[in-house]
Amino acid sequence: MVREEIQKLTEFLNYHAHRYYVLDMPEISDYEYDMALRKLKDLEEAHPEFKDPASPTVRIVGQVSEGFESVEHTVAMQSLNDAFSREEVMEFDERVASALDEPYSYGVEYKIDGLSVSLEYENGVFFRGSTRGDGKTGEDVTQNLKTIHSIPLKLKEPVPYLEVRGEVFISKADFEKLNAEREKTGEPLFANPRNAAAGSLRQLDSAVAAKRRLDIFIFNIQRCEGKTFTTHHEGLSYLAEMGFKTVPQRGVYQSAEEAFERVLEIGRERESLPFDIDGAVLKIDRLDQREVLGSTSKCPRWAVAYKFPAETKKTRLVDIVLQVGRTGAITPNAVLEAVQVAGSTVRRATLHNMDYIREKDILIGDMVYVRKAGDIIPEIVEVAKEERTGEERRFEMPAFCPECGERIERPEGEAVHRCTGSNCPAQMQRNLEHFASRDAMDIEGLGPAVVEQLTEAGLIHSAADLYALTKEQLVNLERFGEKSAENLLAAIENSKERDLARVLYALGIRLNGQRSSMLLAKAFGTMENLMNQTQETLTAIHEIGEKTAEYVFEYFQNLHNRELIEKLKLAGVNMEHFEAADRTEKLSGKKFVITGKFEELSRNEVTELVEKNGGAVAGSVSKKTDYVIAGEDAGSKLDKAQSLGVPVLAIEEFLEMIE
C-alpha cells in the first residue's frame, strides 16, 4: 500500500514538474505541488526501501562536496568554428558542398550563452552530469545538476544508455533577481548571466546551486544505445518526447541562403528572448553526412557558429562621477539611465580619462550609444549629437579629490589625473581589494563589500591589519556569523603561504603586474634581496622596463612601505619564491602568445601552465613566436599569427602538449 502511494506521488510530481519547468504550462498551484512533495518526503523517510532513484525529492539537496571528481568524456565535447559574416558562412557551405556529393540540409538553432554540460542516463535514469572542461575531461557536477528542475531524473522510456549535451543558463529575469539579492547583502554582482550560471554550477555546496534558478536547453545526442536516428532534428524530437527541455525554435533549411536568413531573423529576436544568446548555430541535419564530413581535433566540420556583433543600446548620460583607484588614478564614470545590454542592466560605463571625454565630445545630458566590450565591460561607443537640445553641459575635472580633499594633478606625459593624498581612504579601500583579489593573495570571502565594512568599522587600515583580525571582532559586524567569521579567518591564514610573486603583485606597486612580479621573484628569490636592489639591477632583468624598475625601486625606498612589509613578515606572510614541485621543461625554449577567452581557465592560469612547463609568454605575435594559444573571441593577435604562419593551438591542443 505504501509502495503504491509513493509510486503514485512520484509519478504525479514528475508529471507536474515537467508541465511547469519544461512546457511552461502548469496545471496545479505551487502550494499543491509543495504539499505533495512534503508528503512524499515524509513517506520516503519512513520507508526508504520504497524510494525511487528518480524521486523528485532527490532535488532537495544540501550536502557540501570536498571537490569535484574528474570525468573522462567517451564522446569529445567539441567546440565550434566561428563565423562573423555572411561570406564566412558561405565559405563554410562551399567546404560542405565539396565534401558531399548529394543534397543536404541545415538545422539552425539558438546559440545559448551558458555553460556546456553532459547528462548521462542508464536504463532511463539520470546517473551522472559533468562540465565540458577541456572537451575530453570535465568535472562531475551531478548533485548540482539535480537541482535543475528541467532536467528529467527518469526518462519516459528505459533507454539502455543515453548521453546528451546541453547548455546550462540563467534567464534574464532570474539573473536580475539574483543580482538584486546580492546587492542587498553586499555581495559582488555577477557580470552577466553566463558568468552567474558557470559560478553556480561549480558551487561545492549544492544548496547554493539550488538557489540560483538554473535552467537548461538540450541541443545534441552524444551517444545512444538501443535507439537509432536518421537526422539531428529527429533525435531532438525524440528527446522532447522523453521529457527533455530541448533548444526551442529549431528548423531545417534546404540551402545555406535559407539557413542564413533564419540566422538574421534570430539576430532580430535576440533582444526579446527571455534568455541570452550570442549567436546562431548551423548544423548539417543528416547524421550519416556528419560522419562523412568528420571533425578536426577540436571542431566538427559539419557545424559553424555565427556570432552576433556586440549589442549596442541608446540611453541618456545623466551625470559623470569620479572613482579613485588604488594608485590614486582618477577615472571618470558615466552615470546612465538604466538600459539592458547583452543580458544585464547597465547603469554605469567607464569614460577612461579626460582625453577620452574630449575626443568623443561627451557632454552631461547627451543621448549615447552603449555596448559591452567583450560582452562584459560597458563602454560608450558614440554620442547621438543630433539629439542635443542645448541643455547639455561640459564636464570639467575638479581641482581636489572628492574622497580626501587633496589636490588632483595630471603628471606630465600621462593620460590620467591622480589624487596626491597619501592617506586617501578610497586608495586604501582599492588597495585592500586588490591585495585580497584572486590573482593576488586570493583571500576568499574578502570582497569589496567586506573590505568596506572592515574599514568603516576601523578594524583595518592596511593589508597587515588583516592578519590581526579576531573572530570576536568579526562576529560583532552585521551579516557575520560564527561560521562566516571562521571561514574568512581561515582564508586569511591560508594566504600566508602564497608565493613571493603573488605578494609582490598584491602590494599594488605601480606598473608592476603579474608577469613582472613573477620575473622579479624568480630573479631575486626573497623580498629582502629584492628590496636592496638598485634601479639599474632591476632594469637588467629581461622584460622589466625602465618605468617599472623606477616604480619598484621608489616603492621600496618609502619608509611607510617598508614598515608594511615588515608587519606582513612578522604576521607570518611568506617572503620567498618557490618553484612549482611539478615543474617540467616540456616547453623549454618555446615562446607563446595567449589570446581570447577560455571556458574553464583564466588567461593567467594558462600563462602559469606555460611557464610551469618551461615556456615563455610574450604579449605580441612576431616571427619568433612558436605558438599562439587562441580561445573564443580571439582578435588581432590571431589574425597576425595566421598571416605570419605561426601555429595556432586550441586550449585542448595545448593541454595535450603538456600532458
Classify strands 344-350 and 70-72 as parallel, antiparallel or unpaired.
unpaired
φ/ψ region of 476 (left if φ > 0, alpha if ψ in -120 to 50, else beta) reads: alpha
* Chain Cα centroid distance, residue 397: 34
Cell 526551442 identifies what position?
248
Q: Where are the alpha helices (DSSP H) in 437-534?
A: 448-456, 471-475, 482-494, 500-506, 514-524, 527-531
Q: Contact at 8 Å (CB) between 552 and 449?
A: no
d(CA 584, CA 588): 8
Give me Rg for the CA atoms of the chain.
Answer: 28
d(CA 160, CA 145): 21
Cβ-count burial 342-376 (b if 16+ within 10 Å, e if not): bbbebeebbbbbbebbeebebbbebbbebbbeebe
Supply 659's cell numbers: 600532458
DSSP 599-622: SSS-HHHHHHHHHHTT-EEESS--
d(CA 585, CA 598): 24
d(CA 635, CA 9): 54
Question: Residue 306: beta bridge partners?
Answer: 83, 280
Supply 37's cell numbers: 512533495
Cβ-count burial 438-462 (b if 16+ within 10 Å, e if not): eebbebeebebbbbebbbeeebbee
Nearest to residue 577, comparing CAs of 506, 613, 516, 526? Answer: 526
d(CA 48, CA 253): 51
Q: Contact at 8 Å (CB) between 597 and 632?
A: yes
Catalytic residue among 41, 51, 111, 314: 111
Say which amino acid occupies 299. Answer: C
Q: Contact at 8 Å (CB) between 157 and 101?
A: no
Provide the 8-state DSSP code for 436: H
Supply 305's cell numbers: 557558429
Q: Where are the alpha helices (DSSP H) in 30-171?
A: 30-46, 86-99, 142-145
Provide the 8-state DSSP code for 355: H
d(CA 517, CA 498): 13
Question: Residue 154: beta bridge partners?
Answer: 125
* Chain Cα centroid distance, residue 581: 29
Q: Contact at 8 Å (CB) between 152 and 58?
A: no
Q: Contact at 8 Å (CB) between 333 and 317?
A: no
111 is catalytic: yes
Q: What is the dihedral of CA 378, 379, 384, 385, to 10 degrees?
A: 140
Nearest to residue 251, comparing CAs of 272, 267, 274, 232? Answer: 232
Question: Active-site positions?
Answer: 111
